[in-house]
C-alpha cells in the first residue's frame, strides 16, 4: 500500500495483518524504516537480511522511528549526516536532555549579505507568488516533482489556491519563497519556502519560520542541492531576525522533537480500493468493506454550522486555550485564525479549508470547532482515476477539553469527528486523513481510521527541547497516555 504521504509520513487504510496491534513489523515496514534511517542502515549493513530484520523487531519502535535506537554509537550516526551534523540541531544522543533553548546565538552582523554560489548553470530566484505566472511555475514544479509514495503510484497535487493560502499567510515575506532557476532557460528547478509564525515550546513563545515545499526537479536529485537550499533560506530568515524554524519530514534527520503516525478513514472505499490505496482485508468482501465504511447522511452535533466571519474571535479564544494543552503548539493571532480557518468564496478559486463551529442554542457561545483542508494527489498512470481527494484534519477545539473529564472529551470528539467525516464525504472527499497529534488517539480507531505505514517527524531548527509525545506508544499505536505533545498541524 502506498500513498504519497508515505514519504511525508502517511499510508494505507486497512492495517495489514502483520501490522495489527501486538504484532511485529512486516518485512516491507522494516525495509521502509531502514530507508528512512541512514544510521540504522549503517549499523545493520553486512548483516544477513533476516537477522537484521529480527534485530530490528526487537528494538523499540518509537526509538527506531526517531533514529534513537542505536545506543552508544551516536557519533557514527551523526557522522553519516554530512550536512545535518554541521547544523544547529540536536544530536541524537542529546534527545533526553531537558534543558531547552536556542542552540546557537546568531549575530545578525555576521550573517552573509549574499547567497552561496550555486552549481554552474543555475541561479537563485525569489518567487513573486502574487504574480499568477510565477505561482503557476511553482505549481508545475510541485505537481510533477513533489512528494510521491515509494511505488510512484501517488504524488501530492497542491492546488494553486492551496499554495496561495499556505504561502501568503499574515506577515508572509517574498524573500522566503526561494527558487532555483536554470540560468539559460530560466526554468524553475527547485524550491524551498517559509512563512512566519509563533510557536510555544513548553511555554516559551518563539518566533519561527514554518518551512515547507522543499522540492528538487527529478533530474537534479542527489547533487547535494538540498543543503544549499536550506542554508539559503536560513540566511534569509536570519537577515529578517528569525533564528528558529519548525518543519516536518517523513525521513529521519537529527533529531525529531516528536514523531506522529498517519491514519486514514476511507470515505469512498471502492475508489480507494480501485486505485490501490486500500486493500481488501483477508476474509472480507468489497461489499462488506463498503458497508463498514458507510456514514450517516446527516450530522448529529446540535448547533453545528459552517464557520462565519463573526466567529473568528470566539474561535481564536477557544483555539488558543485548547492549543496550550500541548507542549508544542502554535500561537494564533486573530488575523491568522481568519486566514487559516475562514473560507472566503472567490470566483475561480478552489476551496481549500472547511471549518465548522458549534453554537450553543441558548447562550450563542461557540463551544467547539473543527476544520479540515483539501490536498489532492495525482494517481499516476491509472486507467480510471486521475486523482484522489483527501481531507486532512486541521485544527479543532472543544470546551469539553477543560472539564478534566477524559471520558466526556472522548464522547464529544467521537461525535464531532464523525460529523467532520460526514461533512467531508458530502464535499466529495475520498479519504479523511489525521495524525496521532492533538487528542486524536481518543477517536481514531473507534471511527474506523486505518493505521498508515509512515511516520511524520517534527523538527525544530536551532532550538533544543526534550522530545514530546506523538500520540503513539512503543508499538506505534494511538495511545491516550501519549497525548499532550504535538499541537501543530503542518501542511
Ligand X SMILES: CC(C)(COP(=O)(O)OP(=O)(O)OC[C@H]1O[C@@H](n2cnc3c(N)ncnc32)[C@H](O)[C@@H]1OP(=O)(O)O)[C@@H](O)C(=O)NCCC(=O)NCCS
Burial 371-392 (b: 16+ CB within 10 A, else e): bbbbbbbbbeeeeeeeebbbbb
Residue 146 interacts with ligand X (CB under 6 A): yes or no: yes
Kindly state the smallest distance separating residue 148's Cβ from ligand X, in Å: 7
**Which three cell numbers mark 420?**
467532520
Residue 221 interacts with ligand X (CB under 6 A): yes or no: yes
Helix or strand run (H / E) with residue 370: strand 366-379
Whole-angstrom distance, CA of residue 391 vs CA of residue 139: 20
Residues 247-276 that bind ligand X (CB under 6 A): 249, 251, 253
| x/- letters, 165..204, toward ligand X (CB under 6 A) | ----------------------------------------
343 burial type by CB count under 10 A (0-12 exposed, 13-18 middle, 19+ buried)? middle
Residue 5: CA count within 13 A, CB half-sphere: 34
Among 24, 63, 84, 231, binds ligand X (CB under 6 A): 84
Residue 461 interacts with ligand X (CB under 6 A): yes or no: no
Residue 215 interacts with ligand X (CB under 6 A): yes or no: yes
> In this complex, which beta carbon is closest to ligand X, that of residue 184 or of residue 224?
224
Among 185, 222, 297, 381, binds ligand X (CB under 6 A): 222
3-state secondary structure of 294: coil
Among 76, 82, 186, 324, binds ligand X (CB under 6 A): 82
Residue 227 interacts with ligand X (CB under 6 A): yes or no: yes
> In this complex, which beta carbon is closest to ligand X, that of residue 225 or of residue 352?
225
Torsion of CA 410, 488, 423, 367, to 10 degrees: 60
Contacts of residue 341, Cβ cutoff 8 Å, sequence gap at least 6: 307, 312, 315, 353, 355, 369, 371, 394, 395
Active-site annotation holds for 229: no
Among 1, 2, 5, 8, binds ligand X (CB under 6 A): 8
> In this complex, which beta carbon is closest to ligand X, that of residue 58 or of residue 219?
219
Among 70, 81, 138, 259, binds ligand X (CB under 6 A): 81
Kindly state the smallest distance separating residue 76's Cβ from ligand X, in Å: 13
Residue 224 interacts with ligand X (CB under 6 A): yes or no: yes
Residue 380 interacts with ligand X (CB under 6 A): yes or no: no
Residue 157 interacts with ligand X (CB under 6 A): yes or no: no
**Which three cell numbers mark 112?**
552573509
485 touches 471 (CB < 8 A): yes
Residue 225 interacts with ligand X (CB under 6 A): yes or no: yes
State the Cα angle at 433 between 95 and 274, rounded to 5°: 130
Residue 10 interacts with ligand X (CB under 6 A): yes or no: no
Binding stretches for ligand X (CB under 6 A): 7-8, 81-84, 145-147, 214-216, 221-227, 249, 251, 253
Amino acid at each position: 500500500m502506498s500513498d504519497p504521504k508515505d514519504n511525508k509520513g502517511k499510508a494505507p487504510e486497512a492495517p495489514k495483518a502483520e501490522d495489527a496491534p501486538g504484532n511485529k513489523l512486516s518485512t516491507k515496514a522494516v525495509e521502509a524504516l531502514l530507508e528512512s534511517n541512514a544510521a540504522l542502515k549503517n549499523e545493520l549493513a553486512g548483516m544477513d537480511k533476516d537477522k537484521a530484520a529480527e534485530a530490528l523487531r526487537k528494538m523499540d519502535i518509537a526509538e527506531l522511528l526517531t533514529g534513537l535506537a542505536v545506543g552508544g554509537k551516536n557519533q557514527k550516526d551523526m557522522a553519516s549526516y554530512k550536512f545535518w551534523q554541521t547544523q544547529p540541531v540536536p544530536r541524537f544522543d542529546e534527545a533526553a536532555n531537558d534543558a531547552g533553548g536556542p542552540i546557537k546565538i546568531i549575530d545578525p552582523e555576521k550573517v552573509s549579505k549574499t547567497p552561496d554560489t550555486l552549481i554552474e548553470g543555475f541561479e537563485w530566484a525569489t518567487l513573486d507568488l502574487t504574480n499568477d505566472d510565477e505561482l503557476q511555475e511553482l505549481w508545475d514544479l510541485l505537481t510533477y516533482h513533489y512528494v510521491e509514495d515509494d511505488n510512484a503510484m501517488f504524488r501530492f497535487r497542491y492546488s494553486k489556491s492551496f499554495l496561495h493560502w499556505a504561502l501568503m499567510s499574515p506577515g508572509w515575506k517574498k524573500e522566503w519563497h526561494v527558487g532555483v532557476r536554470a540560468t539559460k532557460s530560466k526554468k524553475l528547478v527547485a524550491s524551498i519556502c517559509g512563512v512566519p509564525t509563533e510557536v510555544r515550546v513548553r511555554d516559551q513563545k518563539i518566533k519561527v519560520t514554518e518551512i515547507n515545499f522543499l522540492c528538487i526537479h527529478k533530474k537534479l536529485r542527489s547533487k547535494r542541492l538540498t543543503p544549499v537550499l536550506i542554508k539559503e533560506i536560513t540566511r534569509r530568515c536570519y537577515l529578517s531576525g528569525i533564528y528558529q524554524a519548525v518543519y516536518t519530514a517523513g525521513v529521519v534527520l537529527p533529531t525529531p522533537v516528536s514523531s506522529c503516525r498517519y491514519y486514514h478513514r476511507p470515505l469512498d472505499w471502492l475508489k480507494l480500493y480501485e486505485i490501490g490505496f486500500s486493500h481488501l482485508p483477508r476474509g472480507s468482501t468489497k461489499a462488506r468493506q463498503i458497508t463498514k465504511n458507510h456514514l450517516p447522511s446527516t450530522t448529529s452535533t446540535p448547533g453545528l454550522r459552517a464557520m462565519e466571519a463573526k466567529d473568528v474571535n470566539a474561535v481564536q479564544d477557544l483555539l488558543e486555550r485548547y492549543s496550550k494543552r500541548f507542549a508544542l503548539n502554535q500561537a494564533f493571532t486573530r488575523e491568522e485564525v481568519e486566514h487559516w480557518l475562514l473560507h472566503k468564496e472567490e470566483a475561480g478559486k478552489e476551496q481549500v479549508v472547511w471549518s465548522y463551529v458549534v453554537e450553543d442554542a441558548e447562550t450563542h457561545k461557540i463551544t467547539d470547532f473543527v476544520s479540515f483542508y483539501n490536498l489532492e494527489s495525482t494517481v499516476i498512470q491509472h486507467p480510471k482515476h486521475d486523482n484522489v481527494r483527501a481531507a486532512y484534519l486541521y485544527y479543532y477545539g472543544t470546551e469539553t477539553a477543560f472539564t478534566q473529564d477524559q471520558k466526556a472529551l472522548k464522547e464529544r470528539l467521537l461525535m464531532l469527528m464523525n460529523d467532520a467525516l460526514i461533512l467531508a464525504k458530502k464535499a466529495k472527499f475520498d479519504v479523511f486523513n489525521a495524525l496521532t497529534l492533538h487528542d486524536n488517539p481518543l477517536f481514531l480507531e473507534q471511527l474506523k481510521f486505518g493505521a498508515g505505514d509512515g511516520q511524520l517527524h517534527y523538527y525544530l531548527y536551532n532550538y533544543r527541547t526534550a522530545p514530546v509525545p506523538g500520540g503513539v506508544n512503543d508499538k506505534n499505536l494511538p495511545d491516550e497516555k501519549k497525548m499532550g505533545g504535538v499541537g501543530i498541524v503542518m501542511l
